[in-house]
Amino acid sequence: VQRSDVNYFGAGPAPLPTVVLEKASQALLNYQDKGLGLCEISHRSPEANAILAETKQALSDLLEIPDDYDILFLQSGGSGEFSAVVYNLVAIWVEKKRAKIAEEVGDNKEEILKRLRKVVDEELKVDYLVTGCWSLKASQEAARLIGAKHVNVAADARKANDGKFGKIPSEDQWSLTPRSAGGPAFVYFCDNETVDGVEFPSFPKSLEGEDAPIVVADMSSNFISRKVDVKKYGVIFGGAQKNIGNAGITIAILKKSLLPPQSPYASPELLRELNLPVGPIVLDYPTIAKNNSLYNTLPIFDVWVAGQVMKALVNSYGAKRISSQEEISDEKANLIYGVLDKYTDVYRVVPDKSVRSRMNICFRVAGGDADKEKAFLAGAEKKGLLGLKGHRSVGGIRASNYNAVSLDGAKLLASYLEEYAKSI
Ligand code: PLP
C-alpha cells in the first residue's frame, strides 16, 4: 500500500505532509551534509539553535503572535500542560496576594503567612469551562494538585444535555469567579474537544475586558487551523501531534507578562508552607523561557518537523497567513457535514450544530447500530479511508479533518458517505 492510496482521518497522531516526511528521512540520515542526522546532533549546536529560531518565527508569522509573547517548547504533551498551568499560574496568584499582604503588614513573616493561609483557603479559585473529556481531565488534574474546593467548574456542558457532552452552555449560565472578588487565578477552556467534536465558535465574550482574567486555552486539536487573537490569551498550548508535527513536543504561547520580573512567582518554600504543590522544574515556565526551551535536552528533530510544516503553510499562504488554512478547513468540514445533514435518516451528527468542530467530525450511523457502524467502517477501509472509528469512550464515527487531510481526501470521504447512505 502506498501513502497515496490512503486517506487517514485518525485523531492523532495524524498525517504529515508527504514532502515534509521525505525531507525528514534525509534529515535523519544526513542533515545539511554534515554526515550526521538531526537526532544525533546536540540540541545546543548552531544548527539546533537555527531550527528553534526558524520554527518560532514560522509560528509567529502564521498566528501573528505579538512581540509581548514567548513561544516555549516542552515535552510533556498536552496533558503535561494540564499540570503546568496550575503550578505556574497559582504561583503567580499566591505571590501577588503575598505582596499585597506584605504592603499592609510590613516585614512580619508570621503575620504574612497567617493571613496568606486564610486568603488561599478562602479565595484561591481556578475556573474551568468543562465542555468535553479533555477539559474535564484538565479540571480533574487541577483538583488533584490543589484540591477540589479550589476548582470552580464555571460551566459543565453535560448538565443541560442529558449528562452528555455536545453543547456549550450559553455564557449567561456560566458561574465564573467574580472579578469583584479578585477573580480566579485563571480561566481554562479547551478550544476544540477532540473526543466529543465540540469547538468554541469564537472567543467567549465574558472573558474579555480590561480586568479580564488570565485565559488558558488548550488548542491541541485545532492549533493553526484558524485565526486566533493571541492577545486575548495568557497561555495557548497544544501537543504537536495533530495539526503541527509528530508526537514529542508541546508548544506553549505564553504572554511575557506572566514571567518574572513582571509576574514574580511564589517561592517553593512559601508554596510548601501553604500546602500548595511545587511543580517539576521541566514544567516551570520561567525556567523554560529563560533557557530558550533548552533547559534540558529538547528533541530538535521534532521541532524541525513542526517548523517545516509551519514554513510550508507560511510559504503557501504568504500574506494571507492562517486565513487561507481556515478557509480550507471550513471547506472540508462543510463538505462532510453537508452530506451528513443531507441524510439525516442515516447519519446523526453528535454535537449541537452551533458548536460543531471543524476538526473532529463526530457522528453516528443508523442510530448507533453496532453492526451497521462496523460495516460502515469496513466499507470505508476498502476505499483507503482509514482511522474513522470514534474514541473508545464514546464510540461511533469520528472523521478528523486536520490540516494535512487534503481537500481531495475530504471529497473522497464525502462521496463515500453519500454512497453508503444510498446503499442502506
Ligand atoms: N488536549 C486535547 C484537546 C487532546 O486532544 C489531547 C490528546 O488527544 C490532549 C490534550 C492530551 O495530549 P497528550 O496526549 O499530548 O498529553
pLDDT digits 0-9 by tens, 212-232:
999 999 999 999 999 999 999
Cα(79) to ligand 1 centroid in Å equals 6
Q: Helices 322-342 and 300-317 sit at what angle, rounded to 10 degrees?
A: 90
| Pocket-testing residue among 140, 188, 220, 360, ligand 1, by greatest number of atoms within 8 A of Cβ | 220
The amino acid occupying position 148 is: A
Q: Whose CA is nearest to atom 3 of ligand 1?
A: 220
Inform me whether the pLDDT recorded for 299 exceeds 80.
yes
Q: Ligand 1, closest atom to CA 219? A: 3
Q: How far is CA 201 from CA 23, 148, 154, in A?
A: 36, 29, 18
Cα(189) to ligand 1 centroid in Å equals 13
Inform me whether the pLDDT recorded for 181 exceeds 90.
no
| Pocket-testing residue among 73, 75, 134, ligand 1, by greatest number of atoms within 8 A of Cβ | 134
- How far out from the chain centre does Cα 147 lie? 24
| CATH, range 321-423 | 3.90.1150.10
pTM for this model (two decimals): 0.97
Buried residues in 141-160 as b, exposed as e (16+ CB within 10 A): bbbebbeeebbbbbbbbbee
For 49-59, what is the mean pLDDT?
97
| Four-way CATH pick for 55-302: 3.40.50.2000, 3.50.50.60, 3.40.1160.10, 3.40.640.10 | 3.40.640.10
Cα(12) to ligand 1 centroid in Å equals 9
Cα(135) to ligand 1 centroid in Å equals 10
Inform me whether the pLDDT recorded for 319 exceeds 80.
no
Burial class (CB in 10 A: 0-12, 13-18, 19+), 212: middle
| Pocket-testing residue among 73, 82, 129, 194, ligand 1, by greatest number of atoms within 8 A of Cβ | 194
Cα(82) to ligand 1 centroid in Å equals 10
Inform me whether the pLDDT recorded for 36 exceeds 80.
yes
Q: Ligand 1, closest atom to CA 193? A: 3
Percentage of residues in the chain with pLDDT exceeding 90?
A: 94
The amino acid occupying position 253 is: I
Specify the domain boundaries for CATH 3.40.640.10 within the chain. 55-302
Q: How far apart are the first and last CA of the chain?
A: 29
Cα(239) to ligand 1 centroid in Å equals 7
Specify the domain boundaries for CATH 3.90.1150.10 within the chain. 321-423
pLDDT band at 316 (very low <50, low <70, confident <90, very high): confident
- Residue 297 is given by DSSP the state -
For 88-102, what is the mean pLDDT?
98
Spatial distance between the Cα atoms of 231 and 365, rounded to a whole number of angstroms: 41
Dihedral over Cα of 122, 123, 128, 129: its sign? positive
Q: Ligand 1, closest atom to CA 192? A: 3
pLDDT band at 57 (very low <50, low <70, confident <90, very high): very high
Cα(117) to ligand 1 centroid in Å equals 34
- As for ligand 1, residues whose beta carbon falls within 6 Å of it are 12, 77-79, 134, 190, 194, 218, 220-221, 239
pLDDT band at 318 (very low <50, low <70, confident <90, very high): confident
For 356-370, what is the mean pLDDT?
97
ipTM over 0.90: yes
